[in-house]
Every structure is written in C-alpha cells, then in structure tokens.
Amino acid sequence: MDLDEVHGWSRRCQNKVDAAKDDAATVGEQWTWTATCRTSKLIIAWHVGKRDQESADALVEDVRARLVVMPQIRTDGLGLYAQPIAANFGPAVPYM
C-alpha cells in the first residue's frame, strides 16, 4: 500500500488568503492524502486537509479501520507518517 499526498488549492492561492476574512482550514492550500493498493490501484482511504500531523493521523486511522490484514506500507519519506503508523499498526508492520 502506498501513502501519498497531492497538493491543490481551495478558492484562492495561499499567498492571497486573508487571515481576517478567510477560514484558514478551508481556504488556500489543501492536500489530498491517499492510501492506494499497489496491485489493484484502488484507493483504500483518502482525506483532504492541510499538510500537517492531524491530516496524517486521520488518514492512517481510517486506513487501519478498513484493513483486516497488515499491509506493507510505502511512503515518499514524509516524516508525518511515522508516528500514526507506529500507533495504529504497531512495530511489526513493514514500513518503508
């Protein structure tokens, strides 16, 4: 299973977000976090949010709730994945 995130924008570019008028959680830079099966290419789980620990936790918790078997997990090396993978899958899961 691959965990990855894709960058995007909601309503306006990040440098045009007005902190006084806009809700920082829903306007500007957004990331679509995905968990994809390597063999079938099916999306197991997804989450839209900022590129932060809260979003990484939400994706990994959702993935764990959907799986019966322990997968081999691959990421792009983003450090935000390490803590939720260890907490939700334990030390025995293969994680690269």
User: What integer pLDDT is reported at residue 74 of this predicted model?
Assistant: 96
Range of the domain at 69: 2-89
pLDDT in tens, 9-44: 766 666 665 666 666 666 677 899 999 999 999 999
Q: 42-61, pLDDT tens digit by residue? A: 999 999 998 999 999 999 99
Edge-first strand listing for the sheet containing 28-36: 2-10, 28-36, 43-49
Question: Is 94 part of a structural domain of the chain?
Answer: no
In a domain, 27, yes or no: yes
Per the domain annotation, does 96 fall within a domain?
A: no
In terms of pLDDT, which residue wins out, 95 or 60? 60
Tell me how far apart the alpha carbons of residues 96 and 78 are, in angstroms, rounded to a whole number. Answer: 11
Q: Is residue 95 part of a domain?
A: no
For the entire predicted model, the pTM comes to 0.83
Residue at 81 is within a domain: yes
Q: What is the mean pLDDT of residues 75-92?
A: 92
The overall average pLDDT reported for the chain is: 87
What's the structural domain count of the chain?
1
